Amino acid sequence: MNILDRYVLRQFVVTFVFALVALSSIFIIIDLFERLDKFIDNKTPIEMIVRFYLAFLPYILELVNPVALMLAGLFSVGRLSNNNEITAMRSGGQGPIRFLLPILAFAFVMSIAQMYFNGWIAPRAATERFAIERKFLASENGPSSLQDLFFRESPSMNVSLRRYDAQNKVGTGVAVEEFGSAEMPRQQWRIDADSMEWDSTSALWVMPLATKRTFYPDSVAIEILRQFKAPFTIRHDQIAKLQLNPEEMTFPEMKDYIETLKRGGKDTRRQEIDLSGQWAFPFVNLIVVLISIPFASVRRRGGMAVNIAAAMVIAITYIAFTKISQAAGAAIDLPVEVIGWSANAIFLVIGLAVLARTRA
């Protein structure tokens, strides 16, 4: 990295940090004014308010990071253009795209970092935020008992729970049915139990008292089972995730959650599209920089206002297209990865086209 690269990158990073701090501060101030009456009514201690907004900050950064990068590209590169520094760089033999490479590299690194941040760090902060909301703001976000759960252990075995208490790891109203074959189902046996408890040592469900009915062509055999180990593999943590807010789940936990819903016979296409879109979203950092910097690097009649307006229109269009494509994708017979990444692919092409049209 030469002197010019370090100079351009420093201008961009300083502007980015300023924009990130400013946007996050505005977000927090607005939210604080909206919640202030609740904080006062619930007599929330100052230290808890501080902890709440520290836990809220990762969610804010998820939202404002792409905007801060876009503004940093517009203002830092626009300032270089207005001061004729880009013209001087080109006069010195540097190509029209060369000075952009350090910024694009920085945006790519930020995309990778935000993928980890969104998928693993922000969910843990969301858990603490919801805990504070429940305790001090009387919020309904967070764990509660689960009712009427259904799972498919295998194509021929169904499991149902009338109620599940995740805190005590106890399920009530348990029924397990085996039908022998998915192609020609015929009930072979059924187990009913008032309750079952999770044994953490053996990682198994134990039914203190259960009744098993085995169905024959001309009779039914009834058997009483004590301390019976449940014949299904779904774990406590998989069921417990069903009561979490999706914001509290890491990417692997979300995948596990979707698999659990599938085993319950639910249509999970929307959740799968959403997860694919969450993997794709961090790369919007690279795309907004790819679009905004070429706009800012060329001096136009109207100055910076025209560049900001054009880039903002494209950014808003990108966000709208992302939401619409994900909503419509649930009814379109395409792989969820194609739908989740389609907005990125289309706007990446637009960004490359804008970059290619940048004047020498």
Tens of pLDDT along 14-32? 999 999 999 999 999 999 9
- The pLDDT of residue 304 is 67
Q: What is the pTM of this model?
A: 0.82
List, in order, residues 6 or more apart from 303 with CB less than 8 Å away: 82
The torsion region of residue 36 among left (phi > 0), alpha (psi -120 to 50) and beta comes to alpha
* pLDDT tens-place string over residues 122-167: 999 999 999 898 888 766 555 556 888 988 888 899 999 999 998 8
User: Read out DSSP for 240-296?
Assistant: HGGGS-GGG--HHHHHHHHHHHHHTT---HHHHHHHHHHHHGGGHHHHHHHHHHHHH
C-alpha 219/C-alpha 15 separation (Å) is 79
CA dist list (Å): 215 to 158, 184, 192: 16, 15, 14
Q: What is the pLDDT of residues 275-291, one digit of tens each?
A: 999 999 999 999 988 88
Task: Encode pLDDT of 192-225 as tens digits.
Answer: 999 999 999 999 999 999 999 999 999 999 999 9
pLDDT at 187 exceeding the cut of 50: yes
Distance CA 161, CA 175 (A): 7
Asked if pLDDT for residue 336 goes beyond 50, the answer is yes
Which residue is associated with the tokens 């997860």?
Answer: 275
